[in-house]
Amino acid sequence: MSGDPASKFDARLDIVPTDPGVYLMKDASDSVIYVGKAKNLRNRLRSYFGKNPQGNAKVLAMISHVADFEYVVVGSELEALLLECNLIKRYQPHYNILLRDDKGFPYVCITMQEEYPRIMKVFRPDKNMTGAKYYGPFLGGDLYRALQALRDIFPTKTCRKVLPRDIGKERACLNYHIGRCVGPCRGDVPAEEYRKVMENMCRFFEGKYDGILRDLEAQMQEASENLDFEKAAVYRDRLNALRAVMANQNVSFPRESDRDAVGFFRDAGEMCFRKLELREGRIIGSSTYFLKDEGETEDSLLEAFLMQYYPTAAEIPKEVLVSIDLENHDAVEQAISDMAGHKVSVHVPQRGDGARLLEMANANAKEALRRRILRVGTSQQSVETALGLLRDKLALRDIPQRIESYDISNLGNDDRCGGMVVFTDGRPDKQAYRLFKIKTVEGQDDYASMREVLLRRFSHAGDEKFAKMPDLILADGGLGQVHAIYSVLEELGLQDKVQLAGMVKDRRHRTHGLVKLDGETIDLAEDAREDEDMMVLFRLITGIQNEVHRFAITYQRKLSKKRNLTYSLETIPGIGTAKRKALMKHFGSIKAISKASKEELMEAERISEKDADAIIAHFRNV
């Protein structure tokens, strides 16, 4: 393998989310050559496309053939594993050959059809066991840990006695005496009482925790009022165990769910549809479609997609989830039902698992289009064509090689900052990005803040960290921001060396076009609908505007979080404004304060021994 794999295409790992998910590696023919899962998508992909790719010879060989990748964001590690398994079976990727097997994942089976139900681990639901309830699938280790935890909550039998056959034949085991089994083998526990325990376990697997919590709390309260404190302590321990399990529970979809969720997002003259396929509670597939945005309503776009996609679909489930109500809902629903040969419900879910699945589909559509926009074009030649069009549209002297863009972000009068992003030859140059914390401007004045940022940026002209001068500056804002920047360029005598324009948005806060210094507006959105090259230019401008906004607002949120943490010192008993300022002046950061010893804290001005004790108690939960 030669060179940095990331140099073969623009991986843009910085915009990959840190959520769990599944990624699909593709070669130059757009074939899937590897499917993997990750707890943190960005970190995993960075291990492939960083400067020093990690892995054995097989992994490095795979990386050398990667021409692109896509990913699906899911809600939990369990969902990621199940989706990975199904995508491997679907695509049979070359580099996943060792993972090709049909081994299933275990289910929990509760034999509710029996008088004394049992709980078992099985690998396939048995259709002949009418009345039995199945939950899962789970990872083997997850299932073992779940059952161990559940036995601390629900007093069920773990022995091999067959009931009612073995009732009264032997003495009750230790589990009965320590409260971990109700002891149905003793003969004095009615079958109905034991079934209630198993019904509660079913409620747990169905996610109905609140009812179980209420029952346990009521039982604990009743035992306490009857002065049976030993029994109350047993219920207390079960309550604590249930809360601990709930805190770590990854919610999965009900096993009987068969649904398609059609996510949708539009920007930069394009639309992205992302369809997630849920079968028997598993997300088994994802399909992505990009279309040109001709300005139609979202209702008509969604209707067109459904009517064009489903006639050739291999399988149509009983539910299709969409994010907006269709004007021709009844006709579309009937048409898809006719295609499927069974009743299909097309609807907008308002809550629950359906709403969560649709939210996931919409988020994945947004991620896919966002990444496509920032990559600008499918080839460097198309990017160069777009830059040539930008030169012509703005009447620039030359094709701009280095484009700088600026945005101001604030939260009222607080956390005011500016962001600068750089695109070199039409591609993001992250090493050249810079952040500015507003220092001299009082109050909320975006124009004055923009002037400060530009003055500080050009005061470093010639410095290595700021590299060379920009050929073009694109302001995230209208004519007012353009004039603010021009006043700085004029003041510094750079108005003839650095060219300038603004990026304007429409009423829906989406990139619409450019505004020149003389006030002339260039409608890129309209031109992009008519010309493919203009579409690439529109995508470039949208990518720049989205990127500078993202970069600036991320810094603003970081400043806001830091400020809120700083003011949280005043929640410590005895610490007011003056002492907070003294602590920050002495230590410089909240982290340093939290790690300081009592003696070190007392070295700060105004901090007494009592204050130091209170600070230590606050940060160390003493």
Q: What residue ranges of the chain have pLDDT lower than 70?
A: 1-10, 76-79, 81-82, 85, 89, 97-105, 136-146, 148-149, 152, 179, 205-210, 242-256, 280-282, 284, 294, 375-380, 412, 461-467, 564-567, 621-622
User: Are residues 359 and 424 located together in one domain of the fold?
Assistant: no
Among candidate residues 99, 123, 155, the one where a domain is terminated? 99
Number of domains composing the chain: 5
Q: How far is the C-alpha of 112 from the C-alpha of 332, rounded, in Å?
A: 41
pLDDT of residue 622: 44
Looking at the structure, do residues 473 and 349 belong to the same domain, yes or no? no
CATH for 497: 3.30.420.340
Q: Do residue 425 and residue 471 come from a single domain?
A: yes
- Judge residue 600's burial from the number of C-beta atoms within 10 Å of its C-beta, 0-12 exposed, 13-18 middle, 19 or more buried: middle
Among 66, 77, 8, 68, CA closest to 41: 77
Asked if the structure places residue 253 within a domain, the reply is no
Nearest to 559 by CA among 405, 411, 408: 411
Is residue 396 one of the residues assigned to a domain? Answer: yes
* pLDDT for 249: 41
Report the C-alpha gap between 330 and 219 in whole angstroms.
50
pLDDT at 101: 35
Residue 117 lies in a domain: yes
Residue with tokens 């090709």: 100
Classify residue 510 by burial, with Cβ atoms within 10 Å: 0-12, 13-18, 19+.
middle
Q: What is the pLDDT of residue 99?
A: 34
- How far apart are alpha carbons 383 and 374 in whole angstroms? 11
Partner residues linked to 275 by β-bridges:
262, 287
Identify the CATH number of the domain in which residue 337 sits: 3.30.420.10
Q: How far apart are CA 531 and CA 524, in angstroms?
A: 10
Same domain, 454 and 506: yes
Question: Cα(83)–Cα(21) distance, rounded to whole angstroms?
Answer: 9
The CATH number of the domain holding residue 19 is 3.40.1440.10
Give domain status of residue 567, yes or no: no
Give the chain's end-to-end CA distance (angstroms, integer).
55
pLDDT at residue 195, rounded to an integer: 85
HEC-encoded secondary structure of 225-272 = HCCCHHHHHHHHHHHHHHHHHHHCCCCCCCCCCCEEEEEEEEECCEEE
Q: What is the CA radius of gyration of the chain?
A: 31
Shared domain check, 503 and 385: yes
Give me the DSSP letters along 454-490.
HHHHHTTTT-GGG-S--SEEEEES-HHHHHHHHHHHH
Residue 507: is it exposed, middle or buried by C-beta count within 10 angstroms (0-12/13-18/19+)? exposed
Strand arrangement, sheet containing 32-38: 32-38, 21-26, 68-73
SS (H, E, C) 597-613: CHHHHHCCCCCCHHHHH
Q: What is the DSSP letter of 180?
A: S
Is 252 domain-assigned?
Answer: no
Query: Is 316 in a helix, a strand, or coil?
Result: coil
- pLDDT, one tens digit per residue, over 347-398 is 999 888 888 889 888 988 888 887 777 766 556 677 888 899 899 999 888 9
240 and 216 in contact (C-beta within 8 Å)? no
CB 522 within 8 A of CB 514: yes
605 CB burial (10 A radius; 0-12, 13-18, 19+): exposed
* Same domain assignment for residues 202 and 306: no
Residues 225, 183 share a domain: yes
Same domain, 319 and 350: yes
Angle at 543 between CA 456 and CA 452, to 5 degrees: 15
Residues 223, 128, single domain; the answer is: yes
In a shared domain, residues 46 and 146: no
Do 457 and 449 form a contact (C-beta atoms < 8 A)? no
**Boundary-marking domain end, from 99, 116, 139:** 99
Of the residues 68, 99, 130, which one is the last residue of a structural domain? 99
Cα 524 to Cα 527: distance, rounded to the nearest angstrom: 5
Q: Domain limits at 218?
A: 107-247
Note whether residue 348 is domain-resident. yes
CB 372 within 8 A of CB 441: no
Residue 613 burial (CB count, 10 A)? 16
418 shares its domain with 552 = yes
- pLDDT attached to residue 23: 92
Q: Which helix (H) or strand (E) holds 63?
A: helix 57-64
Pairing of strands 270-279, 282-292: antiparallel
> Which pLDDT tens digit goes with each residue over 181-213?
777 888 777 888 888 888 887 877 665 666 777
DSSP letter assigned to residue 292: E
> Do 24 and 285 form a contact (C-beta atoms < 8 A)?
no
What pLDDT, on a 0 to 100 scale, did the predictor assign at position 377? 56
**Whole-number Å distance between alpha carbons of 41 and 71:** 8
Is residue 67 one of the residues assigned to a domain?
yes
Residue 254 in any domain: the answer is no
For residues 49 and 188, membership in a common domain is answered with: no
